[in-house]
Amino acid sequence: MMVTPMESFFRTFEQLSAAWNAAELAGLYAPSFLMAGPNGSQVVRASDLQHAIPKRKELFESLGCTSTHLAALEETGLDDRYSLVRTKWRWRFERSPAPVEFTLPSSFVIDRSLDRWQIVAYIPHADVMAELRRRGLLAASA
């Protein structure tokens, strides 16, 4: 089965996320990008994202997160430059007495015009922290 360029981009994203490679992962984003989720929207600088990644890693490792895998990807070209990419991510947490797994959707707008594609918008369709609380992985007060 042939891998599309967009699938390749997101496999790289997945690998950098798994390795917690903050600099290269942040490098997949435009210098400033839109993050718009259940709690509102904001413009985020990739440099700020790079500093937040290690804190996120520390939190998720403390909760037993062992993997986040790309489970599905659907690309819709918006024009010659941009694509809307709908994804689903499978999260796994090693917990006693049994592992906890769930899938969360998110969308991205990818700028394909440059030699190095960039994420210009990231839209998580669920509040990850609320989902962790709902599943008992994170204290209600956190």
Averaged pLDDT for residues 3-11: 94
Structural domains in the chain plus CATH codes: 5-134 (3.10.450.50)
What is the per-residue pLDDT across 103-121, written as a single tens digit (0 to 9) for each?
999 999 999 998 889 999 9
Please give the full DSSP string across 10-60, using - where no structure is assigned. Answer: HHHHHHHHHTT-HHHHHTTEEEEEEEEETTEEEEEEHHHHHHHHHHHHHHH
- pLDDT above 90 as % of the chain: 78
Closest CA to 89 of 110, 109, 112, 65: 65
In the prediction, which pLDDT does 81 show? 96
What's the CA gap between 58 and 65, in Å, rounded?
Answer: 10
Global pTM reads 0.91
Q: How many helices (H) and strands (E) does the chain have?
A: 4, 6
What is the per-residue pLDDT across 50-82, written as a single tens digit (0 to 9) for each?
999 999 999 999 999 999 999 999 999 999 999
Contact 102, 127 (CB under 8 A): no
What's the CA gap between 23 and 50, in Å, rounded?
Answer: 6
